[in-house]
């Protein structure tokens, strides 16, 4: 059996997103397998074109969603679009998104611990994109917040741009500045919009970096791949 790897990023309509591409290029040197990177949105390096190219050379493809939560793209878009073009005898393995990896948890724990040391009286707010269509992303965000709260011994709020609880509901009544962790893979439009919205209400809030180009993102991807293609996580630290 010949195994290929298909990395699927969100992308952006009308624009080629370069976020995390250098990180993925470096990551690909970890594996000898045939690998392709594609985007769910946009007209360049599309999911369909990349899959068609890769499936001509392998018998199995590991589909790696470079996404955090199992929302619409993971549950609906990926399998529907892949099944429409995949050959009948191709073995497809869909890996889980990245928010529940130890790599992401450790990144958040380290980043938040440093912020809390500087601002020990502040609450932390974890905010993710969210979705009204599936409950699992919200369940995972809540569990992550609770894990961090236990580990850091600090109160942690959580909210979504879409889905429940919504950001406006969580911010209602808040008067003190927060430590804000935007749980996004890029410093993109929505992450920026969320920062502006929170800063308008709580202008002294501190906004921590997203996961864009962070080594923890590569570590999380390897963590997902390791059950199928064992490698040394230490080399990505």
Residue 234 has pLDDT above 70, yes or no: no
Instruction: Tell me the pLDDT tens digit for each residue of 95-139.
Output: 999 999 999 999 999 999 999 999 999 999 999 998 878 789 999
CB 174 within 8 A of CB 201: yes
What is the C-alpha to C-alpha distance for residues 166 and 111, in angstroms, rounded to an integer? 24
DSSP three-state, residue 199: helix
What is the C-alpha to C-alpha distance for residues 162 and 237, in angstroms, rounded to an integer? 33
pTM of the prediction? 0.93
Q: Is the alpha carbon torsion for 200, 201, 205, 207 positive or negative?
A: negative
Structural domains in the chain, CATH included, are: 3-98+214-236 (3.40.50.1400), 102-208 (3.40.50.1400)
Give the per-residue pLDDT at 164.
83
């Amino acid at each position: 059996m010949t195994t290929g790897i298909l990395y699927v990023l969100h992308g952006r309509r009308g624009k080629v997103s370069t976020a995390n591409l250098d990180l993925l290029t470096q990551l690909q040197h970890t594996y000898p397998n045939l690998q392709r990177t594609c985007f769910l949105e946009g007209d360049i390096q599309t999911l369909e074109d990349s899959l068609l190219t890769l499936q001509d050379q392998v018998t199995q493809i590991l589909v790696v969603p470079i996404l955090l939560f199992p929302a619409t793209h993971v549950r609906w878009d990926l399998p529907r679009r892949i099944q429409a073009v995949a050959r009948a005898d191709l073995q497809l393995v869909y890996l889980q998104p990245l928010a529940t990896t130890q790599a992401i948890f450790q990144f958040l724990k380290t980043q938040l611990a440093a912020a809390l040391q500087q601002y020990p009286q502040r609450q932390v707010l974890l905010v993710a994109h969210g979705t009204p269509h599936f409950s699992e992303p919200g369940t995972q965000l809540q569990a992550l917040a609770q894990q961090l709260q236990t580990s850091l011994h600090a109160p942690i709020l959580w909210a979504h741009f879409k889905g429940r609880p919504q950001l406006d509901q969580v911010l209602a009544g808040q008067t003190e500045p927060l430590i804000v962790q935007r749980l996004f893979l890029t410093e993109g439009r929505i992450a920026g919009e969320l920062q502006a919205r929170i800063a308008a209400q709580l202008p002294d809030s501190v906004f921590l970096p997203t996961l864009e180009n962070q080594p923890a993102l590569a570590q999380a991807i390897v963590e997902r791949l390791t059950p199928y293609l064992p490698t040394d996580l230490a080399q990505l630290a």
